[in-house]
Structure 1
Amino acid sequence: MPTKQHNSPPRWADRFLRWYCREDLLEGIQGDAYELFYRRTTNNGSFKASRLFIWDVLRFFRPTNIRKTQNYYNNAMIRNYFKLGFRSLSKNKVPSIINIAGLSISIGIAITTFMFVDFYLNIDTFHKNINEIYYVQSDIKLSTGTNRYGTTPAPLKDLLSNDEPSVKKVARIIDKEGIIRYEDQVFYDNFRFADPEFLDIFTFPLAHGSNEIAYDKSKVILSKNVAERFFDQELAIGKMITIIIDGERREYEVGGVAEKFPENASFSFGVLIPFENQVGWVDTDYTDWSEVVYGTFVQLKKEASTEGLKKILESSVPIQNLANPERPIMSYHLEPMSTASKNGYNVNSNILFGNHPAGVYGMLMISVLLLALTCINYTNIAVSSTTNRLKEIALRKVIGGNRKELIYQFLIENLILCTIALILAIGLAKYFLLPGLNSSVPITFPFVLAPRFWVFILLLLAFTSIASGAYPALYISKFQPVEIFRGKEKFGKSIFSKVMLTIQFAIALNLIISAFIFSQTEAYQKNLDWGYTKAQKIVLPVANQEQFRKLADEMELNPDVNKISGAKNHFGSSTQRSTITFDNEQYEVRLMETSADYLSFMGVNLLSGSFFKEEKTSDYLESVIINETFMESLGWENWEGKVISYDSNKYHVIGLVQDFHYHSFYTKIYPAFFKPVKEDQLRFLVAGINEGKAAKTEEYARKIWKENLPDLPYAGFFQDSVFDFFFQETKANVGLMNFLGGVAIILSCMGLYGLVSFNISKRMKELSLRKIMGAGSWNIFKQINKGFIIILLIAILLAAPLTYVLMSNLISSIYEYYEPINIKSFGLAFILLLITVSLTVSMQIFKVFKSNPVDALRDE
């Protein structure tokens, strides 16, 4: 290389030249380039000389000048690596089985998480017009602040369709529950009333029929599931069905059947009915700005701006507020359909299904933690198995193998192991983990083998192979043959393995503590006082007064029934979201309309005042009873003499009842008031049952139902079962956390097994000497266990505060009512992990007790 002068060519260009240039040409080309550089520096200056030097380096970058890379890894050698890999797995069966089991479980959970997250990120993406669709939402002012609602004024459709040129189509939606009947088949179902444009805006293709059917008021469209339920394989088109809502029946012809809805649809329909057909079923004028619909969706023209739409929406606010001053809209919000489901968790009365982001982030975090646990496991076990392969490593190096070849060999071995685990994990996720998740949530996550899934699988395989195998490959390959054959190899203090084990224990403790907290929460909620007498009551939903009176007369003849009452809004089944006015301030509350004796019959605790009296006409016209939260939310110290306004009428408060749970434990107890109604408005018949007569009374209720309401499927239930859905979901959460906690314990013990084996193999000579010198079993047990107990204590110091913060936030975001987190969960988790650690270590120590010290010291 030419002598370096004061001005040197760019270093990076010179290094690039030396990297690509053939060795036999390098000296000549580099010498010429340097000579030209110094000459140009003298004549033209260093800046121009440097630029020209770079150009020369690039100009010489030609195929004839590029050095040939030597391929040390020919096909035969690669095949040999794979043979050695399979041979190593079969020879080291126990570590291989442990690693494959751990990796397959954690990778299976990662695949399940991918399906969950992929579903979340791709909700509604099948709609062709998704980027042009907007969900109109209302920001409504209440005394507690501004809340966002999915409901909107009914006349918005005509205003937007007629007055805004950027709007292509508008569709409104209203849902009603009722009964669908075909011949002798009767089912309860949800009916979706929608404007004809609904099928043009959204992509719900029909398997039979065309979108024009939505404009025919005499026809309805069925989902594939509903059509198969009634008609099986028979063609549904042209069949006449009966739809019964609130006791009124109508005949419709089946005009279309939809194709199966995609699993990632945030909403769909069972029976789609033209919007105008609800007239008569619903006593509502949809040209009145005080009336609302459940959802309004707007499709804009391609590349149209939302500015014009926003202006016309805002111009309608004063009109709506004048018509409905008790529900003042502050502004409208346009939520793109692409994000409507994802952001739906903070929208009241939202007709779209969606997951709270916390659930997605939680699943991701758990998946990453378990995958990290498994990679740490592999690292610890691989390092602990080093002693069994030292002579193999030494021989390979002696006969000419270099460290790079050893690293490649160990990485390929790990790739084989990870591939086997991945294959098992796919089966585990498809046939066990994903079905288990689907059974615990109200939707079904499909196992979709889309291209993005295979990309994820390849990335996951690459990550696990490198993350779990890199350190062992580098660590094992560094030993020198001379040290190995002399028995002088130094393993170090395994600080890395101990740190990894500490992290493992911290993660495991986090999941175990979480499982105990969820279990305690479930037990606490099961023992919560509902605030009224829930036992020994059977409930029969009815559609009108005629049905109520028929069933009530029959139930009163049963000697096992001790009392009959009724309600329009029944505890655990329905309430009305309402707005009341007091001192010119508006408050959102819940209204429950019941028979006069309902509250006393249900065993609600009256704190002061009086219950309604059936014979007192004024109670029906101007009296209400409130709960404690109602009084607190209005800032009252005393309810007596207070008058509230509701629906343009004034009502006197005559009593105060103790708070009770009329909703599930997911939600807090809202301010509520109770108003008596006559029998013609009652929609639930509630019968009190004598002790021990529940089964017999239910059998009787089914009998009289069939006799009096032969067209309707039996819909009765026991009052103590109204929150079963809540307890089932809570139980599923507990089951999931227990499963994850169990997996964490198993994975941690696998890692501990590896580290204990490694520790004992290093100290075998020391422990043998101790046995010869008279050390007892307890002394040896302490010597080995001491370090692991310290690791466990450090782990709990790391895990406890982090888990407390995470679980406090998680539990409070899921439930309104839960037991405060206490030390019991932490203590139980620590004891469980301590016992598991002790058993795992004891299994390895037992080998030391059985071993003969002479075997370890014969070469000394």
Structure 2
Amino acid sequence: MLRNYFKIAWRNLRKEKTFSILNIAGLSFAFGISILLGATALFHLSYDRFHTHKDSLYGMYTQNQTPKGPKAGTTYPVPFAVALVKEVPGIDKITRRLSDSHLAFYQDKELSMDAKWVDPDFMEMFTFNIIEGNRQNPLSDKFEAVISQTAAKNLLGNEKATGKTISLLLNGKKQPFTISAVVEDAPAESSLEFDLLLNFMSHPENIDTADEWGSSNHDVIVMLEKDISPGNFEKSTTAFTNLHYSKDIAGLKRDGAQPNNNGQYKQIRLYPFTDSHFIHFENGQAVASRKFPYMVLSIAFLILFIACVNFINMSIAKSSKRLREIGMRKTLGAEKVQLFFQFWGESMLIFGISLLCGIALSKILLEPFMTLFNTDVSFHFLFRPDILFMFILSAIFITLLAGGYPAVLLSRLGTLQALKGKLSANAGNRVRNILIVVQFGIAILLISSTLVLRSQLEFMRNKNLGFNKAQVLSFPLNGKKDSYQAVDLLRNKLKNNPGILEVTGADNNLGLGRDGSAYTSILGFDYQGRGIKTHMLVVDYNYIETLDIELVKGRSFNRKYATDSLGLVINEAMAKELGNEDILQSRIVLDDSVNYHVIGVMKDFNFKRLNEKIEPLTLFIHPEWDLYYAYVKVAPDNLSRSYETVKKAWAEIEPNAPFMGSFLDENIDRTFKREKTMIAIVSSGSVLAVILSCIGLFAISLIMVNQRTKEIGVRKVVGANAGTITFMLSKDFLRLVAISFLIAGPLAWWLMSQWLQNYQYRIDLNIWVFLAAGVLTALTALITISFKTLNAALQNPVKSLRTE
């Protein structure tokens, strides 16, 4: 019986070549792209889920009740973790984590390494496979190091790594470390990436501040005991917080902060470590936003839905050709169930062929997909037992839904109705129209989203950030020399070059450089009886001039003034925070009672990402605090030649240090990675949605014209012209597209207005964007329908009237 069903199905496929090709092509592309999008979403949703103890691991942050509302703090002082384990029950293991980049030396090799300074518990908390060396406690000694497989290959070549001594440049001095173990490289879906793992207490700064509670520079991760819930643990830290942060709490009370619901001014909070990839902080709370992977899954679903709609509509539309076959089979005794399985079998055959083609297509498109969408996705996620089961279940559900509905519709027809060869107009047209409205609504929604996303990205790219991003080159000071010495040498080498205008340095980059590093430092102090917090930036002379930052009051740092080492240049937000009318007379006590004075106020500029508001910022000139980046302002006439000049000069100063320079506009553009990926996925989805919708529309118009061939001939005989007939055949479909716009337009407006709330600086939504999406969709639909309708309208009416 089954064999007979598939034989009939195969014959029908060959008989209806046009519709079979359209169906298989549409479904194949939908399956192929959906597999890639699904793998992308699963890749992101799988972040940090490979750790054995994942359900017991938690990141830690502190919720501070400030006068301006709750704020989250994620860094802690060195003695915090040690005291927490001793005084608060429920902790199985704990690790501090400090990320840094250091030069590593082995024999004549010199490489920059991404280092994580952690506690010995780290290796027991997280699942990183040790392939060589000490598997029990590889960080038990203060000067032991764990190295990743790739880093070991790059630094030591083919030599056995364990037991070898490498040196790291720490505070200008070489410190030897013995490699105790080699681990496999962290999986792509890990938020913990590193070249080296080092004992937290071997870092010079941590040794010096081992007992200091006033300076915070690292985050903390805990593994709770099995019977301890995060909520109960948070409550048990209340006494600990009140004891060790009593001074801070007194300051918050003094400044007018209101306690939280538990009556606390400082509360230790936890979030699941598996949320680390998605965490951001809002109103002092950790929020895990999985909008991106869910959006990708939604687009994959919508593409599959449109392809299935095409299949259903085409199946219903061409069913009239098979009505007499159904009537004859019923006359001969065929049951509804038999007819259902016959038609469903035909659907299964089409879906099976399409699925195989889709899998092959996804394999072919994998590399360009990874490049276009900047993702490390791979198919190994799809072969996990749980994912494979869900994939098979989804495939069965889709075939039942898309293939089952036409099968049920046809199998339920009465024998006489089928033998007459006419299908009731309401039997399929109503469903067809609803589905067309939905699929074109999806296309309008995706096109509208694409236009808004692109407008927002262009707005952010072109926004005046308050500094010169086009002519300024930045790169990390990743060599052996003292940072100030390196900047001075660079300045001297480039001073006579007409293409080089200014050279300076700072301890942080603007945007995201080629080294991928970005961080910020926040300083807290008391001023006129209240607590103040400011972002701080250590700079060299000429920083303000190099970036063309506008001064509102006072002056910039100047070598002529010896007291400028105790001078501060602040932004307008900081000046507002201090609240003095005559801000240049302000005296601020910082750093062990040292008196600083404000010498200048600069106009606010965007030193953080554009989805964050401008906060107080203070610039320091402090020779004892390192610089980490050089900035070079070049003439606008030949940027590429100036880039090569700076690169050559750096190679002479630090021959073993890679030059990782990029212009600030490139750095800023890198911070839009998420937006660019979203635009690429949504725009690709919208294009595919329109193409698939048009495939279905073309097939339906083909069937409709064939069904109305005689009517077209009669109308032409009585005087109707080609335009009138084309309009008559197209108007019903255009009406459906108009209904789609009326539904999808407001929905797209609401969704995009919600999305734009994530940005402090955003475009204003314009109705013309949504009208453009509707007009574009309508024109595309009209052109698609016109291919067949115009051809039919131009046919010789005699030929049309002879058609049986």
**Which category of TM-score, normalised to the shorter sequence, fits these structures?**
0.7 to 0.9
What are the residue-to-residue correspondences of 1:360-759 with 2, within 5 Å? 360-432=293-365, 436=369, 440-441=373-374, 444=377, 447-448=380-381, 449-480=383-414, 482-483=416-417, 486=420, 489-492=423-426, 494-542=429-477, 543-572=482-511, 575-621=520-566, 623-632=567-576, 639=583, 646-647=590-591, 648=593, 651-678=596-623, 681-727=626-672, 729-759=674-704
Q: Contact 2:70 / 2:283 at 8 angstroms: preserved in 1?
A: no
How far the C-alpha of 1:414 sits from its partner, in A, is 0.7
Distance 1:667 1:803 in 2: 24
What are the residue-to-residue correspondences of 1:16-55 with 2, within 5 Å? none
Cα-Cα RMSD: 3.3
* Higher alpha-carbon deviation: 643-652 or 496-505: 643-652
Matched residue SS, 1:592:
strand
What residue is the counterpart of 1:32 in the other structure?
none
What residue is the counterpart of 1:12 in the other structure?
none
The 1:619–1:231 alpha-carbon spacing in structure 2 relative to 1, beyond 3 Å, is closer
What residue is the counterpart of 2:775 in the other structure?
831
What residue is the counterpart of 2:6 in the other structure?
82
* Higher alpha-carbon deviation: 653-662 or 739-748: 653-662
Distance 1:364 1:748 in 2: 19
Distance 1:583 1:616 in 2: 27
What residue is the counterpart of 1:9 in the other structure?
none
Deviations 1:487-530 (A, max 9, x none): 55543471221111111111100001111112222222222223
The 1:365–1:442 alpha-carbon spacing in structure 2 relative to 1, beyond 3 Å, is closer
TM-score norm. by structure 2 comes to 0.88
Distance 1:212 1:349 in 2: 36
What are the residue-to-residue correspondences of 1:147-166 with 2, within 5 Å? 147-164=71-88, 166=90
What residue is the counterpart of 1:30 in the other structure?
none
What residue is the counterpart of 1:251 in the other structure?
176
Q: Contact 1:642 / 1:653 at 8 angstroms: preserved in 2?
A: yes
Distance 2:786 2:673 in 1: 39
Q: Contact 1:263 / 1:445 at 8 angstroms: preserved in 2?
A: no
The 1:391–1:116 alpha-carbon spacing in structure 2 relative to 1, beyond 3 Å, is same
* Higher alpha-carbon deviation: 819-828 or 240-249: 240-249
Distance 1:537 1:117 in 2: 37
The unaligned stretches of length 5 or more in structure 2 are 253-263, 512-517
The 1:751–1:575 alpha-carbon spacing in structure 2 relative to 1, beyond 3 Å, is same
Q: Contact 1:569 / 1:576 at 8 angstroms: preserved in 2?
A: no
Q: Contact 1:596 / 1:677 at 8 angstroms: preserved in 2?
A: no
Deviations 1:66-91 (A, max 9, x none): xxxxxxxxxxx111011112222222
What residue is the counterpart of 1:200 in the other structure?
124
Distance 2:469 2:408 in 1: 66
> Which residue, out of 771, 789, 794, partners 1:845?
789
Distance 1:590 1:569 in 2: 11
Distance 1:467 1:642 in 2: 72
The 1:207–1:851 alpha-carbon spacing in structure 2 relative to 1, beyond 3 Å, is same
Matched residue SS, 2:548:
coil
How far the C-alpha of 1:231 sits from its partner, in A, is 4.2
Matched residue SS, 2:160:
coil
Matched residue SS, 2:425:
coil
The 1:323–1:530 alpha-carbon spacing in structure 2 relative to 1, beyond 3 Å, is same
Q: Contact 1:491 / 1:762 at 8 angstroms: preserved in 2?
A: no
Q: Which amino acid aligns with 1:423?
A: L
What are the residue-to-residue correspondences of 1:119-134 with 2, within 5 Å? 119-134=43-58
Distance 1:783 1:307 in 2: 66
What are the residue-to-residue correspondences of 1:48-127 with 2, within 5 Å? 77-127=1-51
Distance 2:108 2:668 in 1: 31
**Match status 1:318 vs 2:242:** yes
Q: Which amino acid aligns with 1:551?
A: L
Matched residue SS, 1:87:
helix
* Higher alpha-carbon deviation: 491-500 or 369-378: 491-500
Q: Which amino acid aligns with 1:521?
A: Q
Deviations 1:601-639 (A, max 9, x none): 321122344334432344432x43332333456677875
**Match status 1:294 vs 2:218:** yes
How far the C-alpha of 1:386 sits from its partner, in A, is 1.7
The 1:716–1:770 alpha-carbon spacing in structure 2 relative to 1, beyond 3 Å, is closer
Distance 2:192 2:368 in 1: 22
How far the C-alpha of 1:313 sits from its partner, in A, is 3.0
Distance 1:739 1:96 in 2: 25
What residue is the counterpart of 1:270 in the other structure?
195
Q: Contact 1:753 / 1:841 at 8 angstroms: preserved in 2?
A: yes
Deviations 1:708-737 (A, max 9, x none): 323322233333432231255543332222
Q: Contact 1:592 / 1:673 at 8 angstroms: preserved in 2?
A: yes
TM-score norm. by structure 1 comes to 0.83
The 1:251–1:799 alpha-carbon spacing in structure 2 relative to 1, beyond 3 Å, is same
How far the C-alpha of 1:594 sits from its partner, in A, is 2.3
Q: Contact 1:113 / 1:363 at 8 angstroms: preserved in 2?
A: yes
Deviations 1:151-173 (A, max 9, x none): 23321332244445643332222
Q: Which amino acid aligns with 2:54?
A: I
Structure exhibiting the larger radius of gyration computed from Cα positions: 1
How far the C-alpha of 1:249 sits from its partner, in A, is 2.4
How far the C-alpha of 1:372 sits from its partner, in A, is 2.0
How far the C-alpha of 1:234 sits from its partner, in A, is 4.3
The 1:482–1:469 alpha-carbon spacing in structure 2 relative to 1, beyond 3 Å, is same
Distance 1:213 1:658 in 2: 50
What residue is the counterpart of 1:73 in the other structure?
none
Q: Which amino acid aligns with 1:529?
A: N
How far the C-alpha of 1:113 sits from its partner, in A, is 4.5
Deviations 1:633-655 (A, max 9, x none): 66778756555555455554444
Distance 2:763 2:565 in 1: 40
Distance 2:8 2:351 in 1: 15
> Which residue, out of 727, 732, 740, partners 1:787?
732
Matched residue SS, 1:215:
coil
**Match status 1:138 vs 2:82:** no
Distance 1:306 1:457 in 2: 34
Q: Which amino acid aligns with 2:145?
A: V
The 1:313–1:729 alpha-carbon spacing in structure 2 relative to 1, beyond 3 Å, is closer
How far the C-alpha of 1:444 sits from its partner, in A, is 4.3
Deviations 1:229-283 (A, max 9, x none): 334554322333332245332232322111243443332432011122102x567
The unaligned stretches of length 5 or more in structure 1 are 1-76
Distance 1:580 1:234 in 2: 51
**Identity, % of aligned positions:** 27
Matched residue SS, 2:637:
coil
How far the C-alpha of 1:218 sits from its partner, in A, is 3.5
The 1:821–1:437 alpha-carbon spacing in structure 2 relative to 1, beyond 3 Å, is farther
The 1:246–1:84 alpha-carbon spacing in structure 2 relative to 1, beyond 3 Å, is farther
Q: How many residues align?
A: 779
The 1:232–1:856 alpha-carbon spacing in structure 2 relative to 1, beyond 3 Å, is farther
What residue is the counterpart of 1:801 in the other structure?
746
Q: Contact 2:186 / 2:194 at 8 angstroms: preserved in 1?
A: no
How far the C-alpha of 1:776 sits from its partner, in A, is 0.8
Matched residue SS, 1:221:
strand
Matched residue SS, 1:212:
coil
Q: Contact 1:150 / 1:347 at 8 angstroms: preserved in 2?
A: no
